[in-house]
Amino acid sequence: MHDDDTTAARRALGRRLAHLRRAAGHTQHGLARLVQYGRSSVANTETGRQHPERPFWTRCDEALRTGGVLTAEFDRIASLNHHHRLGPPRGGAGPTSDNPPTWWEDEDHITARRLALTTPAADDARLAQLEHEIQAVIDDNGRCPPATLVARLRPLRDCVDQLMDARQHPYQRARLYTVAAHLSGLLAALALDLGALALAHAYAAEAFAIADIARQPATRAWAYHPTATINHCGSLAETNDDWSATSS
């Protein structure tokens, strides 16, 4: 392996690390904490400016649950580079029929892609916990002040946003959209209770749009109720404003 080939292979390995990190839903800073390296080390490795030793790749494989593909690729590059420094064996080494054509993908790349597809950022337990917490807020509605319920829902909304930016299996995506629609619908109702009509309207429109995109009739019907209520309240508010202006 020539020096240029080594550099290209290391850069490709860095890009693969970046792909697997994003697929797992981690930031560079988050992965750095998991592998106990600096964020700059992760960033420089992903762009090919830094070439860490084997322990770094082993920790990344463990943190990202890749099945060891990053370490395997590091070992492959190191082995080829070692043989290049030693030079060809005596008598030369001509091409053999075992050498794959150049248009074949690397086996490790195929494995990494498969693992990325089968390792979603959200697992069923996390989705179940979100669903449980939303149901708890629904059960507490009417017993707890609206502001208290909003404070409980906002962190859940942020969590769902992060998950929606990542990757899930199709059936998990459907559950996530249902969770997001219910969250926005609940926030719409609570905003209405607190007199924040503009926010209530925005949340209600979001809830209906999410349910509509997901093509879930039951969720769409559920989201329609707060939307209709808020639109009705908005019409009443405009009527009262017009009446007040006319009276004055």
pLDDT digits 0-9 by tens, 177-192: 888 988 888 898 888 8
The answer to whether residue 98 is domain-embedded is no
CATH of the domain at 208: 1.25.40
For residue 110, what are the CA distances in angstroms to 7, 79, 114, 117, 160? Answer: 21, 20, 6, 11, 30
Residue with tokens 């989201």: 223
CA 174/CA 215 separation, integer angstroms? 9
Strand partners, 144: 141
Q: Write out pLDDT tens, residues 69-122.
A: 898 888 888 877 765 555 554 444 444 445 545 566 677 667 766 766 665 555
The answer to whether residue 187 is domain-embedded is yes
- Tell me which of 32 and 79 has the higher pLDDT: 32
Rg for the chain (alpha carbons), in Å? 27
Domain of residue 37 covers 3-87+107-117
Same domain, 150 and 221: yes
CATH of the domain at 26: 1.10.260.40
Written as six digits, the tokens of 123 are 């697992």
Same domain, 30 and 64: yes
Neighbours of 24 (CB within 10 A): 21
Same domain, 131 and 243: yes
Same domain, 113 and 144: no
Print the SS3 string covering 162-224: HHHHCCCCHHHHHHHHHHHHHHHHHHHHHHHHCCCHHHHHHHHHHHHHHHHHHCCHHHHHHHH
pLDDT at 121: 54
Share of the chain above pLDDT 90, in %: 19
- Tell me which of 91 and 148 has the higher pLDDT: 148
Does pTM surpass 0.85?
no
Same domain, 78 and 128: no
